[in-house]
Structure 1
Amino acid sequence: MNVTLYSQKNCMPCTGTKRALKRNSIEFTEVDVASAPDAADPILELGYRSTPVVIVEFDEGGQDHWDGYRPDKIEALAYLVAEGRGA
């Protein structure tokens, strides 16, 4: 499973999402949407206009994504990781 967090500085929901992912031992790659002109392109293509956005690509195929601070989604990912299905 590959998890990517699209975030930006001074974004409280981004900070909360990052902390929750770390607290639940979910490995992720963080992309600062202000870091490069095209850094936000993947989330813009999905229709998102604000951060945070989390994109999860599952090993067996498929994808999930959401915006905002979503502890319910993060807990579901933590469950998959604990069950060995997220590796």
Structure 2
Amino acid sequence: MITVTVYSLGEGCPHCVRTCKCLTVAGIRSTVIDITVDEDARRFVTERLGYAQAPVVVIDQDPAVHWCGFRPDLIQQVAARTGASS
């Protein structure tokens, strides 16, 4: 089983909300971390991964497997890999 973490700007971010909804519809469980309140998470996203926008999606807590923005194509690839239904 894979783990999916979404680093989000909260409910006011339309791309973050759409990403989380798309993950849910695809049958993929995820953990959402609000980087507006979690300073360590914000530093991880900006300094370690190098992103300046959200959401940032990290698969299996592996900094080599991640993306930012609303990417339904990549969500579907993860769903296919895990056997989740879309």
**Smaller-chain TM-score bracket:** 0.7 to 0.9
Q: What amino acid is the match of 1:77?
A: V
User: Paired residues, what number?
Assistant: 81
Q: What amino acid is the match of 1:50?
A: Q
- Partner SS, residue 38 of structure 1: helix
1:75, distance to aligned residue in structure 2 (A): 0.3
Instruction: Give the distance between the partners of 1:62 and 1:82, measured in 2 at CA.
Output: 22
- Partner SS, residue 49 of structure 1: coil
Q: What amino acid is the match of 2:50?
A: G
- Partner residue of 1:55? 58
Instruction: Give the distance between the partners of 1:13 and 1:71, measured in 2 at CA.
Output: 11
More strand by share: 1
Structure 1: which 4+ aligned runs deviate by more than 6 Å? none
Q: Answer yes or no: is the 8 Å Cα contact 2:49–2:63 preserved in 1.
A: no
Write out per-residue CA displacement over residues 62-85 of structure 1, whole angstroms, 9 at most, x where no aligned residue: 8410000001100000101117xx
Q: How much is the aligned-residue C-alpha RMSD, in angstroms? A: 1.9
- Partner SS, residue 4 of structure 1: strand
More helix by share: 2
Instruction: Give the distance between the partners of 1:15 and 1:77, measured in 2 at CA.
Output: 18
Where do 5+ consecutive residues of structure 2 fail to align?
A: none
TM-score (norm 1): 0.83
Q: What amino acid is the match of 1:82?
A: G
